[in-house]
Amino acid sequence: MAFIQPIVFAIVTIAAFAFVFKKGKEIYRNINLGQKEDLTDQPDKRLKNMLLIALGQKKMFRITLPAIMHLFIYLAFLVTQIELLEIFIDGFTGQHRLLFHLFSETLDSGFLTGIYNFTISFIEVLSILALIATFVFLARRNLLKVPRFVKSEMNGWPKLDANIILIAEIWLVACIFMMNGADVAREIQINGSSPYGFLISGNIVGPALSGLNIDLLKVMERFGWWGHILGVLGFIVYLPYSKHLHIMLAFPNTYFSRLKPRGEIFNMPAITKEIKAMMDPNADPYAAPAEGAEAVAPPKFGAKDVQDLSWKNLLDAYSCTECGRCTAACPANQTGKLLSPRKIMMDTRDRLTEVGKNIDLHGPDFIDNKQLLGDFISVEELRACTTCQACVQECPINIDPLDIIVQLRRALIMEDSNSPEEWNLMFSNIENNAAPWQFSQQDREKWVSDLK
């Protein structure tokens, strides 16, 4: 029977990674459905952003308690990767705690097993902290109902998604302690004491379990081991469907975030070209394209669907973990308007996933007569934005919902001529009176003569 376990392990692991690789390629393809934008300049600044904001969690600390709790889970996640290494070694070899046994047989056994025990103990402590954080998070979402977690866009799948992840975390931690504790308890039963120096399992969980039947302990140890690794693999397979993708994408997302002042909204070069031609007295308005030049389709002004957005907007959408700090800071949302910057990101991702599915099922030219503007994000939402950039400021991983809002607004105005009457008046005033109000430009310095 012993040989079956490594085979099962290998099959499950390879299947999981193959699946994730396929999903990863799909996500990569979907992101590249967006418009090209070069975001590779100033690599040193970009690296610094990534290290500070993604790895260093700098922006999380704008709210202290969740930042600390999140840090516990984050550190536990990072450090547990070492333990995962052991699980893979044991899994493929069919051994149990192979590293520990190898270490004990070396000349320097005290030193190496010391490192082993320290590492496991360190993971155990972080796991307990992560467990505490998980319960705090569950409570914040389900009992305290922190307002940003119970907004309408969180109903249904997003809420369940968040809870699934938290419960999976409890599962992973419980399995680790079951495995470590059962190992210690077995050693205590067989040898009277345990060779493992695990801080929590060695002193608390192991001794507590030591009265159990030895066969049951063996089953518990296996259950813990398999439970943990299947949990991990399940988590990996689940990631591409979940908001939890941020654990991967936070890194590229901060690296590629735009290095511009927050207040700057990009100018559209296509329009500059048109206006320069209008202002140029020598331009020929009837000019035909040069002989042999390829006919270029006129550009779309603004964005109506995900393919019209920049690839960075789409990466933003996949990176969003729906924490809602943007929405909590949004003045429109705070005063009861429909707009929620988080929903803008969720809609963009949902639409992009749908477009990707359509491509997989019906090929790249399939048109489903749906689009982001209107079918997902309504005009009323877009109109409520004050472009105050609070959402951009608050995002812990530099997602920019405002950039999407502005591009959709552009399409509304410039493609659909869909504008409130007051705005049309404002536009024509700027064109004709050089001010957004109906005042003659000739009166613009009238205030000077009224000066006292």
Q: Applying CB under 8 A, which residues contact another protein?
A: 62, 260-265, 267-268, 271-272, 274-276, 279, 301-302, 329, 331-332, 334-339, 380, 383-390, 392-393, 406, 408-414, 419-420, 422-423, 425-427, 430-431, 434-437, 439, 441-448, 450-452
Amino acid at 348: T
Burial class (CB in 10 A: 0-12, 13-18, 19+), 212: middle
Cα–Cα dist 407/13, whole Å: 42
Q: Closer to another protein at the Cβ: 152 or 442?
A: 442
Choose between 39 and 435: whose C-beta lies nearer to another protein: 435
Least Cβ distance, residue 186 to another protein (angstroms): 54
Nearer to another protein, 57 or 95 (CB): 57
Least distance CB 235 / another protein (angstroms)? 34
- Backbone angle region of 42, left / alpha / beta, with phi > 0 → left and psi within -120 to 50 → alpha: left
Residue pair 336/342 in contact (Cβ under 8 Å)? The answer is: no
Give the separation between CA 452 and CA 450, rounded to whole angstroms: 6
Q: Between residues 258 and 357, which has the closer beta carbon with respect to another protein?
A: 258
At closest approach, how far in Å is the CB of 58 from another protein? Answer: 13
Task: Check: CB of residue 256 under 8 Å from CB of residue 315.
Answer: yes
Cβ-based nearer residue to another protein, 97 or 325? 325
CB of 267 to another protein, least distance (A): 6
Least separation in angstroms between residue 433's CB and another protein is 8
Q: How many residues does the chain have?
A: 452
CB atoms under 10 Å from CB of 328, counted, come to: 21
Q: Residue 22 or 262: which CB sits closer to another protein?
A: 262
Do 125 and 132 touch, CB atoms closer than 8 A?
no
Nearer to another protein, 98 or 414 (CB): 414
Closer to another protein by CB, 112 or 406: give it.
406
Residue 333 CB, nearest approach to another protein (Å): 9
Which of 391, 321, 323 is closest to 349 using CA atoms? 321
- Tell the smallest beta-carbon distance from residue 47 to another protein (Å): 21
CB of 336 to another protein, least distance (A): 3
Alpha helix (H) residue ranges in 388-420: 390-394, 401-410
CA dist 13 and 93 (Å) reads 13
Interhelix angle for 311-319 vs 246-255, to 10°?
150
